[in-house]
Structure 1
Amino acid sequence: MPNIRSLRLLDSLQLHRLKTKLKQQYLANRPSTDGYNQQDPGFSLIELLVVILMIGILAAIAAPGWAAFVNRQRVNKVNDAVFAALQQAQREAKRNKLSYSVSFQKNSTTQEVAIYPTKKSDSTNLPFAEISTWKPLGPDVGANSDKFLLGANLGGENIANTTTNSPVSYPLNASAKITFDYMGALTLPNNFGTVTAGTEPPGLKIVVAVPSSANSTLASSVKRCVIVKTLLGSMLTAKDDKCS
């Protein structure tokens, strides 16, 4: 009869054989770690189509928001250029002790602005046709004439339009200009618009607007503007409904 020691040795030997067999099975069945797994089938056509469809849906959702952001940035930049032009004219008037004017016009490709002495050397007003200091308005943002609308509530030189239904007109009438005297104040005569009860005069407004998607000759609700508020020529900027 085998003794206890022999039985223990037999059990140890069987256990070792079982461990060895299990280890061999594991090594035989484990995935290859050397390079590309040949059993990986890659992406199916359906999976690729689903991914492309999801990308298209996300792009369609994001595109309008991106376009609106670009439009807002564009009108902000152009409005900054309008504000800078008015400030420059005011500075030139005070520095040179002469009246200076700011005018705008639209040519075939872009909107332009001109800053110039209001009168010629013989003290007569400089005709619009003789203005030679035109430069593009907002060229650094690619603001061509079809990218934005330039309007104003000007009915004449330093005169606000008194039409109550639609005070701001597009496109801006180039003959309607803003003029500062030798002290940087607005020249006379001037008019800041009709005052209704409990409100301030609208002031002289130069408006930059994104064209309407339905009609490119009409302004959308996205607007920026510069408003000359007082006889001393103080200015501020506003947006959207404040620019109507």
Structure 2
Amino acid sequence: MRFSCAYLSKIRVRKKSSIEGYTLLELLVVVFIIGSLSAIAAPSWLAFLNIQSLNAAQNEVYRSLQEAKNNSVHQKLTWQVSFREQNEISQWVAHPQTVNSTLLKWHDLSSKVQIDDAETTFTQSSGVWRVQFNFKGNVNGQLGRLTLSSKDGGKAKRCIITSTLIGAIRTAKENRSPQNGRFCY
């Protein structure tokens, strides 16, 4: 069997292209670029996730306060929302004031969130913060705030504030300058 020169040159070209690829240097440059971009983006992504956890926890606490306020009006009883840190997990429970909170099922907030002791001003006893709403839905003279911060650090804070005696509840986040020694107002 006789092959022409043109046919043999095509075979050689195919063989040559099948063993070609990227050099080690080219692969290292690509890996370096991907690593650099990841190092730049990772902290921003983690901060974004922390803020999302704080926002979700803030919404959950806000809803728990609204639930207690609504229940106090509908049932004509004093309702309370209790907060605590148990096994490094922040928890809450809404219940009538006459019911012992230790007997109830507590709801966990995100494991990435903690209650900021320094900025929380709700009434506290035995490691449990509480706020009460009377039969009219008014705060029982206990104005204050619950401040949440990230366990991973950072300056992001979220707070839930009972700001008037008639039971107004609002949310806020960290500010650049403190007011009365607190950054969340």
TM bucket (normalised to shorter chain) is 0.7 to 0.9
Equivalent residue pairs, number = 168
How many Å apart are 1:47 and its aligned residue?
A: 0.6
| Paired residues of 2:72 and 2:133 also in contact (CA < 8 A) | yes
Distance 1:37 1:135, change over 3 A: farther
Give the gaps of 5 or more residues in structure 1. 1-27, 121-125, 158-171, 193-203, 214-219
Distance 1:243 1:153 in 2: 10
Distance 1:184 1:37, change over 3 A: farther
Instruction: Please list, as runs of the form range in 1=range in 2, the aligned pairs for 1:36-47 lying within 5 A after superposition.
Output: 37-40=14-17, 41-47=20-26
Correspondence 1:235 to 2:175 = no
Q: When the two structures are superposed, what TM-score results if normalisation uses the length of structure 1?
A: 0.61
Percentage of matched positions with identical amino acids: 28
Distance 1:229 1:155 in 2: 11
Correspondence 1:49 to 2:28 = yes
How many Å apart are 1:208 and its aligned residue?
A: 1.1
Distance 2:61 2:14 in 1: 64
Q: 1:153 aligns with which of 117, 120, 123?
A: 120
User: Could you tell me which residue of structure 2 aligns to residue 208 of structure 1?
Assistant: 148
| Paired residues of 2:54 and 2:148 also in contact (CA < 8 A) | yes
Distance 2:152 2:79 in 1: 34
Alignment deviations for residues 105-155 of structure 1 (CA, whole Å, 9 cap, x no partner): 1111522111111125xxxxx4xxx532232333xxxx22xx222135326
Distance 2:113 2:89 in 1: 9
Larger-gyration structure (1/2): 1
Is the strand fraction higher in 1 or 2? 2
Distance 1:49 1:231, change over 3 A: same
2:48 is paired with a residue whose SS is: helix
Q: 1:78 aligns with which of 37, 54, 57?
A: 57
Give the gaps of 5 or more residues in structure 2. 1-5, 176-182
